[in-house]
Structure 1
Amino acid sequence: MDLGNDLHLELGAGGGRRAALIGALRDAVRGGRLAPGTRLPPYRTLAADLGIARNTVADAYAELVAEGWLTSRQGSGTRVADRVAAPAPGPVRPTAPPPLPYDLVQGKPDPGAFPRATWLASARRALTAAPHEAFGIGDPHGRIELRRALVEYLARARGVRTSPDRIVICSGAAHALRLLARVLGTAGPWAVEAYGLPFHRGLLAEAGVVTVPVAVDEDGARVADIPRPASAVLLTPAHQFPTGGPLHPERRAGVLEWARTSGGLVVEDDYDGEFRYDRRPVGAVQGLDPEQTVLIGSVSKSLSPALRIGWMCLPAALVDGVVTAKGEREPYAAATEQLTLADFLASGGYDRHVRRMRQRHRARRDRLTAVLAERAPGVRVTGIAAGLHAVLELPPGTERTALAAAARHGVAVEGLASYRHPDARGPAHPAGLVVGYATPPERLYGAALGALCDALGDALPDTARAVSGT
């Protein structure tokens, strides 16, 4: 028996039930709450819900069909008529400018590359095997199935040493940093790389944490410059963001020695550790000393930011504090998605996807460097041994001009200066563009590179003359 959809109507007091129902339905359609094509409940269902006679509902529907508000067909039920006028539009509000056609902003994988078929297969297996308690109130540590799968994967692929009871699932790097800031408090500043995500610095500032910049060079953060009063240092050791180099082995040892002697914490953002092309794999710093390091990871770069799944591998002393800060109810990361990711990892689907995307990103990177070598040979490309972006070094004083030219040619891209900490001292890195090569769909990638080179030709006339031979 078709019980139909729920429908909320206020009939009011006084007057006949039939007239009140007709008026309520007219108001709901006229006001836009019932859109054209919406199917109404059967007579019996609506009558029972409203506590009125079935014939009253039937008569009201028939009247509104006759007036043209509703339509009724055998087998299709009663629906709101398509020809009913829509409600008058409200005041015109300013809209955001349309996005530029060529998206070369870093940090975003191509949404079309999401492995739908294998993810769906994992979802089916995971939901079939899931215990009943998985659909109750969640454990703030996160699903045990995912934590076990992460222990195996991170040990094998990233050199991480941890256990399920020392992993806490969160909704990404930002969520992890907010939790850590809450646990560590504001007793001391955090040292951060002089070039890094302004968003991360901003959320620490919102939590009352003062950030102190540490200079970055071709060997990564200059960890000898970390101030002693700092309570933590936030690093991107596998692939410094955004300049691109790995943290030198001596500096890895140095930052751990700083942590041991100062009582500080190393917070390792392993944001794209899976994607390396021209170098041997670089393991996580966490594997060298799990008691001094928090490793933060997520699937935002490797799968999709829409999944909202990340993790923290914590020292034993921090687990209870982080779980308490997170709260008793599991927020953000749905249990069903956690179960699916656990199967995706355990079945090898994640490894196969990462290898496939590694090949694709490497081909895109090679295409970018080849086009620039041909059309803008005066531009040096750096930070390309790993990750999802490259840095194009520009002549001094040309970054803003290049960004303006890129916008004119429909290219969304960011300048290197926007990542510099406002309190950073000493010489800045050369002017540059941070070019993400993962986001555009394949059919637009060639056009995006062409538009980027056109913009560079406009902004850097010397380079354009070198290309044209004039």
Structure 2
Amino acid sequence: MELGASGLRRGLTDTLREAVRTGRLAPGTRLPSSRSLAADLGVARNTVADAYAELVAEGWLTARQGSGTRVARRAAPRDAAQPAAVTRRDARRAPAYSLMPGSPDLASFPRAQWLKAARRALTAAPHEAFGYGDPRGRVELRTAVAAYLARARGVRATPERVVVCSGFVHGLTLLAKVLGQRRVREVAVESYGLHYHRDLLTEAGLGTPALGFDAHGSRTGGLAELGGAGAVLLTPAHQFPIGVALRPERRAAAVDWARGTGGLILEDDYDGEFRYDRQPVGALQGLDPERVVYLGTASKSLAPGLRLAWMVLPGALVDEVAAAKGRADWTCGSPDQLTLAEFITSGAYDRHVRAMRLRYRRRRDQLVAALAERAPDVRVTGIAAGLHAVLELPPGTERSVVQAAAWQGLALEGVGSFRHPAVERDRDALVVGYATPPDSAWAGALDALCRALP
């Protein structure tokens, strides 16, 4: 939110009034408490309280004991100089709230602890750390990652088999290049997943046949029927976006296929640390480190802006992937690598993950409770894990609900956005990212979601 130059209170008042007037804050939307919004904006609580009071007096807002401050339930007048269609288009372009999946809570990035780790890491860093270095990445980070993954995810890793990359997409790009050099023709993918992962493989000249899918995850027994597939991309701990865990017998089937055919399993463990109803399921890689490539990232546990991820490779792939990375030269800065290594080895990473696990669990519980009270016919599916939930909808309603959410100022994504082009439509659902909104917007985002549901 941008505050005007005519003083903090006046700027906040004008900004809120404009948001209500144009419909970006829909009638009935509950605003954050004055304490919460003040903390979010870094201003005094009285500044927010005075702005709320002025807008209540003008009739833009209502305030009742026990129900908080809300946008008044009346039609917000449109600017006569601006056509209605333009107003709606602008509202869709800049939603007031977002429940889009894929992003952690960026406001919770541990800045102070990261700064301490950076100071310690840079103070101890040898001079050669600022040179070009090993394409696999700094040995300090590879050592820290190998130890952490062995302890937290059951990955069988040594520093020599870890390659640091600048995100999952970077890692997948390198693997696609190496697979192409090995004359692999196809990489099987899940029926639901991120389209740009499929696009990346296609652009590398690889086919992407879809595995069958049901309530228990990808039907890995069908890999044998895909004669051209030399690898398969899976999200076994928490399938994205459907949210199920791959059953043990299907994990075993994937490994048996890889052993029998010489194929590879590319394991995307994008949010494996975040399981709320039990201990996280261990990584698939532990079943056969010579047939599984493990890919992990700091994008969900810390922040995507760090551009730090890692692969744990079978021994036969290490030199080929390192050579491909050296040629591509996607830079992973040494200072950030050294800082993350210190952050992990000091225990700060574990503490942060534990704190975020509690935070995300509360968010998910609040989402489930709100739906049970206000939209009892909508079922939350998938395991209690990760940063998103799947809301099953009545057949044929997905598109209309996403559109209704847009009119409520809420950005949402339907499961159809993630379906493989060759897979028939078999469900209507929303993929709700509950980690994204700041605390000041969480109540409003939930209200908008519930209003949009059938």
2:227 and 2:309 map into 1 onto residues whose CA distance is 30
1:259 and 1:281 map into 2 onto residues whose CA distance is 24
Secondary structure in structure 2 of the residue aligned to 1:397: coil
2:137 to 142, 153, 159: 142
2:316 and 2:330 map into 1 onto residues whose CA distance is 22
- Aligned partner of 1:441 in structure 2 is 438
Tell me the amino acid that sits aligned with residue 280 of structure 1: Q
2:157 counterpart of 1:162: yes
Residues 96/333 of structure 1: CA separation in 2 closer, same or farther (3 Å cut): farther
- Aligned partner of 2:112 in structure 1 is 117
Superposed, which structure 2 residues align to 1:211-250 within 5 Å? 211-226=208-223, 227-250=226-249
The range that moved more, 263-272 or 224-233, is 224-233
1:130 and 1:429 map into 2 onto residues whose CA distance is 54
2:122 to 100, 119, 127: 127
1:103 and 1:260 map into 2 onto residues whose CA distance is 43
- Aligned partner of 2:400 in structure 1 is 401
**Which string of whole-angstrom CA distances, capped at 9 and with x for unpartnered residues, describes residues 315-346 of structure 1?**
00001110111116853211000000000000
Tell me the amino acid that sits aligned with residue 431 of structure 1: D
2:146 to 151, 158, 180: 151
Residues 268/329 of structure 1: CA separation in 2 closer, same or farther (3 Å cut): closer
Residues 429/347 of structure 1: CA separation in 2 closer, same or farther (3 Å cut): farther
2:323 counterpart of 1:324: yes
- Aligned partner of 1:310 in structure 2 is 309
Cα shift at 1:213: 0.3
Q: Tell whether the 8 Å contact from 1:140 to 1:328 is kept in structure 2 after alignment.
A: no
Residues 400/193 of structure 1: CA separation in 2 closer, same or farther (3 Å cut): same
Residues 95/319 of structure 1: CA separation in 2 closer, same or farther (3 Å cut): farther
**Which string of whole-angstrom CA distances, capped at 9 and with x for unpartnered residues, describes residues 11-61 of structure 1?**
xxxxxxxxxxxxxxxxxxxxxxxxxxxxxxxxxxxxxxxxxxxxxxxxxxx
- Aligned partner of 2:199 in structure 1 is 202
Q: Tell whether the 8 Å contact from 1:309 to 1:338 is kept in structure 2 after alignment.
A: yes
Q: Tell whether the 8 Å contact from 2:220 to 2:250 is kept in structure 1 after alignment.
A: yes
| Structure 1: gaps of 5 or more residues | 1-93, 461-470
Q: Tell whether the 8 Å contact from 1:237 to 1:269 is kept in structure 2 after alignment.
A: yes
- Aligned partner of 1:285 in structure 2 is 284
- Aligned partner of 1:57 in structure 2 is none
1:429 and 1:354 map into 2 onto residues whose CA distance is 35
Secondary structure in structure 1 of the residue aligned to 2:300: coil
Secondary structure in structure 2 of the residue aligned to 1:354: helix
1:99 and 1:209 map into 2 onto residues whose CA distance is 37
2:335 counterpart of 1:340: no
Cα shift at 1:138: 2.5
Secondary structure in structure 2 of the residue aligned to 1:324: helix
Cα shift at 1:218: 2.1
Max Rg structure = 1
Cα shift at 1:99: 2.5
Residues 188/389 of structure 1: CA separation in 2 closer, same or farther (3 Å cut): same
- Aligned partner of 2:54 in structure 1 is none
**Which string of whole-angstrom CA distances, capped at 9 and with x for unpartnered residues, describes residues 62-87 of structure 1?**
xxxxxxxxxxxxxxxxxxxxxxxxxx
**Which string of whole-angstrom CA distances, capped at 9 and with x for unpartnered residues, describes residues 130-186 of structure 1?**
010001113101000000001110000000001111010001110011000000105
Cα shift at 1:429: 3.7
- Aligned partner of 1:75 in structure 2 is none
Cα shift at 1:280: 3.1
Cα shift at 1:418: 1.1
- Aligned partner of 1:422 in structure 2 is 421
1:176 to 168, 171, 184: 171
Give the superposed CA RMSD: 1.5
Q: Tell whether the 8 Å contact from 2:257 to 2:263 is kept in structure 1 after alignment.
A: yes
Q: Tell whether the 8 Å contact from 1:267 to 1:295 is kept in structure 2 after alignment.
A: yes
Q: Tell whether the 8 Å contact from 1:411 to 1:448 is kept in structure 2 after alignment.
A: yes
Cα shift at 1:303: 0.3
Cα shift at 1:281: 2.0
Length-normalised TM-score, structure 1: 0.75
Secondary structure in structure 1 of the residue aligned to 2:151: helix
Tell me the amino acid that sits aligned with residue 454 of structure 1: R
1:386 and 1:351 map into 2 onto residues whose CA distance is 17
Secondary structure in structure 2 of the residue aligned to 1:231: strand
Tell me the amino acid that sits aligned with residue 379 of structure 2: R
Residues 199/386 of structure 1: CA separation in 2 closer, same or farther (3 Å cut): same
**Which string of whole-angstrom CA distances, capped at 9 and with x for unpartnered residues, describes residues 377-417 of structure 1?**
00000124111000000000000000100100011110001
2:364 counterpart of 1:365: yes
Cα shift at 1:96: 11
Cα shift at 1:129: 0.5
Q: Tell whether the 8 Å contact from 2:245 to 2:383 is kept in structure 1 after alignment.
A: no
**Which string of whole-angstrom CA distances, capped at 9 and with x for unpartnered residues, describes residues 191-233 of structure 1?**
0000111111111111111100002222211001111321100
1:141 and 1:390 map into 2 onto residues whose CA distance is 35
- Aligned partner of 2:11 in structure 1 is none
Superposed, which structure 2 residues align to 1:376-395 within 5 Å? 376-395=375-394
2:450 and 2:115 map into 1 onto residues whose CA distance is 39
Cα shift at 1:347: 0.4
1:96 and 1:298 map into 2 onto residues whose CA distance is 34
Length-normalised TM-score, structure 2: 0.78
- Aligned partner of 1:88 in structure 2 is none
1:104 and 1:230 map into 2 onto residues whose CA distance is 35
2:108 and 2:356 map into 1 onto residues whose CA distance is 8
Q: Tell whether the 8 Å contact from 1:138 to 1:329 is kept in structure 2 after alignment.
A: no
2:85 counterpart of 1:103: no
Secondary structure in structure 1 of the residue aligned to 2:432: strand
| Structure 2: gaps of 5 or more residues | 1-88
**Which string of whole-angstrom CA distances, capped at 9 and with x for unpartnered residues, describes residues 257-291 of structure 1?**
00000111000000000000013320001011000
